[in-house]
Amino acid sequence: MTEPERRAVTTPWHALEPDRAASQLKADLDQGLDSQEVARRLEQYGPNVLTPPHKRGPLLRFLLQFHNVLIYVLIGAAVVTMLMQHWLDAGVIIGVVVINALIGFIQEGKAERALEAIRKMLSHQALALRGSKRMVIGAEELVPGDIVFLQSGDKVPADLRLFKIKDLRIDEASLTGESVPVEKDPEPVEENSAIGDRSSMAYSGTLVTYGQGTGVVVATGDDTELGRINKMLAGVSPLTTRLLIKMAEFGRKLTVAIFAMAGITFAFGYLLKDYGADEMFLAVVGLAVAAIPEGLPAIITITLALGVQAMAGRKAIIRRLPAVETLGSVTIICSDKTGTLTRNEMTVQEVVTADQGFAVSGIGYAPRGAFNLDGGEEGQDVSPGDYPVLEELCRAAMLCNDAEIVSGEEDDSWQASGDPTEAALVTMALKAGLESDGLRKNYPRTDLIPFESEHKFMATLHHDHQGNAMIYLKGAPEVVLNMCTRQRLNDQDEELDREFWEAQLDQIAGKGQRLLALATKTPEAGQRELHFADVENGMTLLGLVGIIDPPRDEAITAVAECRSAGIRVKMITGDHAVTARAIAARMGIGEDPEAGKAITGRELEEMSDDDLRPKALTTDVFARVSPEHKLRLVKLLQESGEVVAMTGDGVNDAPALKQADVGVAMGIKGTEVAKEAAEMVLTDDNFAAIAHAVQEGRTVYNNIRKSIAFILPTNGGQAGVIIAAVMAGQILPITPVQILWVNMVTAVTLALALAFEPAEPDVMKQPPRDPQAAILDVFLVWRVVFVSLIMVGGVSAFFTWKVNQGVDIEVARTTAVNTLIMFQIYYLFNTRSLHRQINSIRLFYENRFVLIAVAAVLMLQAMFTYAPFMNKLFGTAPIDGGDLPLIVTTTASVFVLVEGEKYIMNRWRRRRGSAPV
């Protein structure tokens, strides 16, 4: 590419006059490019497609799933068990490793489809001017300098500088977040205008909703705005979740501790206790097997999977398992506005006539709602038929309109056909009791002046069946007021009070509502054509309507829930600042003056990262932002130590969704790009589902901690028994193969039952946990050591007691194993709540899987103890039935001691002013 062409790629086309833009591109606006020039430019610029990113091959992606310290520990455990020729246990461990790898491989493959989804947004064909002839060509053949024609229903095939339009409106919501189609104008705009304000441009991938236009191609492929987002998305590396980071750190520390403990034990026994090398090697193997929590990764995976299943029942689909837990640690939710906090359905919320104001209830396109007289009794609806001007205004809104709303065939949803703003007027008229087909039949349209951006109004001429004529007009208030000389008051007209109406305009606009004015005029009965001269003056103003994309009621509740859970909600939108502030105020976002003051994209551009970082933390409303701004804000919040969830539905949200700790996409109105970039998809587009997801995420994390608090004392107890025996110079109370049995039984049954624990009662009243906190914190270390010592003491005592009785070593070891299992059964009930005391019988039965697991373990232990084939496999022997009551009652000591520890700890917390968790 030559230097002039390279400069052209970065030229602010929106700020140039059309002729100057065409000159820089050497484009012929009348003839188009000839075939030779097209071939030359195609060679220079390349085809109009997005470059696919470099992908790792499937084999490499699969092998990388094993690159995890805990997986290495599991593989080591499998090797040890194979060396011991315990093939069943080795197979189970390897199976867990492979299943984990397959899950990760499948989920990673889904995430890579986000880039493919962006490429599918490109148009497949375009109507272009080539050699003075209009022709349909493949969109990939477009080059800078091509002349392209647009009409309603077209997908814009490349970035265009518009130079000729006729009432052109383009839906740019997926690119900018703008809630209504944008009116285009070929006049240049300021060079530093935000993308949503560049009315002289049409961008690749957006949709023409109305009118026609012609533009010159200024960028293709990777140089388009869509291409820039594609590059940004490809450049965002997927984050490793906090859980995986902490588990990897935990695995490394645990591995070091196990090897250190094994080495010290081997040296002590071999050098000081005169054990043989072979004998100590077996002891150390048993110690390693005892200390390695083989079942922990599987338990974590299953706990996460159960969280995924629970969230799916609450309209949230999780695409990556670790995202379940990450949701529980979220400290900030950055939410897009349009379609996320709001319905993306324009709604009339206010009507003002010359002497009265009306609030209109109901949201969206569903014709359910009523009119309430401002200043009247709160909640009391009024009939529009009792207010002639209101009824006339609603009639004008229905007749001076080309949109329709239709009901969904299978559900109660309503969809707009046509311009969203016009659809809002239709819905308002239906709420007033007017019937669309009947009204249009009684007042057939004779002629119209269509809406065009040049004059900013639409007018229609109608006749009733008695021959009476009427003109209805709607448009921008500042234009309509200049066309009106009178205003309608009750059944008569009076002189227009312009000062009153301008005050109303300021008041309604201050609420973030978009304004339309409606007017009427009575022409001669025989008039059959409508001309501009008929409406330029002498119109009678009926009133104003305020239209807004309203917040979801359930989203308002969800924002309040998030705040009570210590989570800050920020609105980051491409819409205008006034609208953003109005919606934020109604949502309860940014309630204090500093947080509610909107920062615009233009202001962001002028701030350095150091200046913006504190603003990003304290400000809750960001408006008129670009995809780069959203991505930058998320990164700065993460650099400040926050765990960030980002919600959105458009392609403009995709880079930030991928960068966030948890990306949340809308399932109904969200683009495929957003869905593929996100970790979670809301199937009902309901922000409220996020609050439920946070609760589930916190529950999942709590259950993972409970599993760790249960499994590690078991491993610690087993390892401690072996170390105590070596230190005392005694025979091992439990063999390595018996240790594997205990680990397998407890992980598959008892520990797994904790994955089904319901949410703690106050889980959403606690602040988010510190994202830097280790999984194995001081409290858990203490609990593990405390319970391990109880188990070591009890198991060693029972083993020594049986040995001193002179029984066979197999009987003594079987007694030791059963003692350890009973300790674990009692401790399982302690672990159902790490801090709350088990002072209610409810905690013994509300999770039925605990009782099922206990029953299963007791049956397995009966087989382990008395079944001849199990005796042969594991070196066990039947024990005297008279010992069982003693084992059952003695091991209950762990339950009593741990509950006593909870009581003491909770009293200490109360004195410090922190309530028990």
Q: Are 144 and 160 in contact (CB under 8 A)?
A: no
Amino acid at 305: A
CA 587 to chain centre: 18
Which uninterrupted H or E stretch holds 133? Answer: strand 133-138
- The token pair that represents 768 in the structure block: 């988010």
Helix boundaries (H) for 472-525: 477-483, 498-509
438-473 burial, b at 16+ Cβ within 10 Å, e below that, comes to eeeeebebbebbebebebebbbbbbbeeeeebbbbb
In sequence order, what are the residues at sequence separation of 6 or more whose Cβ sits closer than 8 angstroms to the Cβ of residue 435?
A: none
CA angle 842, 845, 848 (to 5 degrees): 145
Please pick, among 154, 167, 336, 575, the residue that the annotation labels catalytic: 336
**368 phi and psi angles, rounded to 5 deg:** -120, 125
Q: Are 574 and 177 in contact (CB under 8 A)?
A: yes
Distance CA 280, CA 229 (A): 61
- Nearest CA among 290, 326, 295 for reference residue 100: 295
Query: Residue 331 gets which letter from DSSP?
Result: -
**For strand 568-572 and strand 357-360, is the pairing parallel, antiparallel, or unpaired?**
unpaired
Taken in order 192, 194, 198, 204, the sign of the CA dihedral is positive
Residue 517 forms beta bridges with which residues?
A: 475, 544
Helix (H, G, I), strand (E, B) or coil at 739: helix
User: What Å distances lie between residue 378 and 57, 175, 358, 723, 868, CA to CA?
Assistant: 65, 41, 12, 76, 81
Q: Are 709 and 339 in contact (CB under 8 A)?
A: no
Q: Are 185 and 199 in contact (CB under 8 A)?
A: yes
Taken in order 470, 473, 477, 481, the sign of the CA dihedral is negative
**For strand 332-335 and strand 568-572, is the pairing parallel, antiparallel, or unpaired?**
parallel
- The token pair that represents 872 in the structure block: 């042969």
Q: Are 738 and 811 in contact (CB under 8 A)?
A: no
- The token pair that represents 581 in the structure block: 């502030």
Q: Are 327 and 245 in contact (CB under 8 A)?
A: no
The CB-side HSE value for 491 (13 A sphere, CA atoms) comes to 2
- Across 249-380, the runs of DSSP E, i.e. the strands, are 316-318, 332-335, 347-352, 357-360, 371-373
**For strand 316-318 and strand 159-171, is the pairing parallel, antiparallel, or unpaired?**
unpaired
Distance CA 908, CA 917 (A): 13
- Dihedral (Cα; 591, 597, 598, 603), 10-degree rounding: -150
Q: Are 437 and 429 in contact (CB under 8 A)?
A: no
Is residue 609 part of the annotated active site? The answer reads no
* Gyration radius from the chain CA atoms: 36
Helix (H, G, I), strand (E, B) or coil at 647: strand
Residues with catalytic roles:
336
